[in-house]
């Protein structure tokens, strides 16, 4: 079959150009992997500790391998904090229930002196238990976020270090839950936990008013005690609202950034795998990690 210049210039030119670019990209990937292997061997021999956490000097443009040592240390700290606060929460609940029983008996027998002694103790134990509950919820959220960060970063790193194009199943093709769905569920769970914590603080105000109203007639100094305790509770509620609102905002911002990165990976997966054109995604990812590091 005789081929004309029009055929060479028109029909096969895009295919030839695409295969040439793919060949150059594959050759660049092979050279990069050889350089990385040489860098690993050099670091293994010389014991250079300054580049620990980086695959090579060229990877500094892409980003670190998630600082594995720091991440594991931080995860262990949050896990230990979670276990400690959970145990302390159970112990505090026991003492709180015991003091609450004594207060109930004091109200039934109109023993104002006993109630006046046990009420500050019960209030301190109760606020301590709520603080342990808040720290426990925050530890769970931090552990989940670390798992999500590590998973999403390894998805990007797998695309950059792969020799061929891999399709990322970020949609519901297999009938499973997607990372976006899991992140949205955990976001709503965290918001719900913060709302429940605020409701627990607000729920204590009617109890205080009821107890103060019952004992106003039996002790004059109790009115002064009530006037001093109410501003303290109001300050605690104002501080808790000031801290939980930025936490919720930062959490939603983090999930929005992660969803944006995953969407960019899904849309530009072929360019990332073949031509390594997705450096902007990893730069944005590294900036987000610097924000919450």
pLDDT of residue 186: 59
pLDDT of residue 93: 76
Q: How confident is the model at residue 104 (pLDDT cuts 50, 70, 90)?
A: confident
pLDDT at 220 over 70: no
Q: Encoding tokens for residue 277?
A: 């054109």
Q: Whole-model pTM?
A: 0.35
Average pLDDT of the residues in 226-249? 64
pLDDT at 163 over 60: no
Buried b / exposed e over 33-49, threshold 16 CB at 10 Å, is: eeebeebeeebeeeeee
Helix runs in the chain, H state only:
5-6, 13-46, 68-108, 112-161, 179-215, 221-267, 269-270, 279-291
pLDDT at 234 over 50: yes
Contact 198, 244 (CB under 8 A): yes
Output the DSSP codes for 113-173: HHHHHHHHHHHHHHHHHHHHHHHHHHHHHHHHHHHHHHHHHHHHHHHHH-SS------STT
State the Cα angle at 194 between 193 and 195, rounded to 5°.
90
Contact 276, 160 (CB under 8 A): yes
Place of tokens 């896990």: 79
What are the pLDDT digits (tens) for 20-58?
565 666 666 666 666 666 666 555 554 444 433 333 333
The residue ranking higher by pLDDT, 55 or 118, is 118
Please state, for a pLDDT cut of 90, what percent of the chain lies above it: 0
pLDDT of residue 242: 62
Long-range contacts of 13-22 (CB under 8 A, 24+ apart): 21/275, 22/274
The residue ranking higher by pLDDT, 13 or 42, is 42
Q: How confident is the model at residue 91 (pLDDT cuts 50, 70, 90)?
A: confident
State the Cα angle at 97 between 94 and 102, rounded to 5°.
130
CA distance 115 to 109: 10
Among 54-58, 69-73, 138-142, name the one with the lowest average pLDDT: 54-58
Q: Encoding tokens for residue 4?
A: 């004309």
pLDDT of residue 61: 35
Q: How many residues does the chain have?
A: 293
Range picked from 11-20, 87-96, 250-259 for highest mean pLDDT: 87-96
pLDDT of residue 256: 62
pLDDT of residue 11: 45
pLDDT of residue 172: 44
Average pLDDT of the residues in 74-97? 77
pLDDT of residue 286: 60
pLDDT of residue 222: 59
Q: Is 70 in a helix, a strand, or coil?
A: helix
Q: How confident is the model at residue 108 (pLDDT cuts 50, 70, 90)?
A: confident
Please state, for a pLDDT cut of 70, what percent of the chain lies above it: 24
């Amino acid at each position: 079959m005789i081929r004309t210049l029009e055929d060479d210039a028109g029909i096969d030119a895009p295919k030839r150009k695409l295969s040439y670019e793919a060949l150059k990209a594959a050759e660049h990937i092979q050279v990069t992997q050889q350089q990385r292997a040489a860098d690993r061997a050099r670091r293994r021999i010389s014991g250079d500790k300054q580049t620990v956490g980086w695959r090579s000097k060229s990877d500094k443009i892409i980003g670190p391998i998630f600082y594995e040592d720091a991440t594991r240390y931080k995860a262990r700290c949050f896990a230990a904090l979670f276990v400690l606060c959970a145990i302390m929460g159970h112990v505090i609940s026991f003492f709180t229930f015991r003091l609450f029983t004594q207060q109930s008996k004091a109200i039934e027998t109109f023993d104002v002196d006993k109630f006046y002694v046990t009420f500050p103790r019960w209030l301190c134990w109760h606020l301590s238990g709520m603080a342990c509950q808040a720290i426990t919820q925050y530890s769970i959220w931090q552990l989940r976020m670390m798992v999500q960060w590590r998973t999403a970063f390894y998805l990007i790193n797998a695309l950059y270090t792969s020799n061929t194009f891999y399709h990322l199943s970020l949609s519901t093709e297999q009938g499973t839950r997607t990372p976006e769905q899991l992140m949205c569920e955990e976001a709503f769970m965290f918001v719900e936990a913060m709302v429940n914590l605020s409701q627990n603080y607000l729920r204590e105000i009617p109890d205080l008013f009821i107890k103060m109203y019952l004992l106003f007639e039996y002790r004059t100094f109790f009115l002064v005690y009530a006037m001093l305790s109410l501003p303290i509770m109001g300050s605690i509620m104002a501080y808790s609202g000031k801290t939980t609102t930025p936490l919720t905002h930062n959490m939603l911002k983090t999930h929005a950034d992660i969803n944006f990165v995953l969407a960019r990976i899904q849309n530009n997966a072929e360019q990332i795998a073949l031509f390594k054109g997705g450096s902007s995604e990893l730069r944005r990812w590294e900036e987000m990690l610097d924000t919450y590091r």
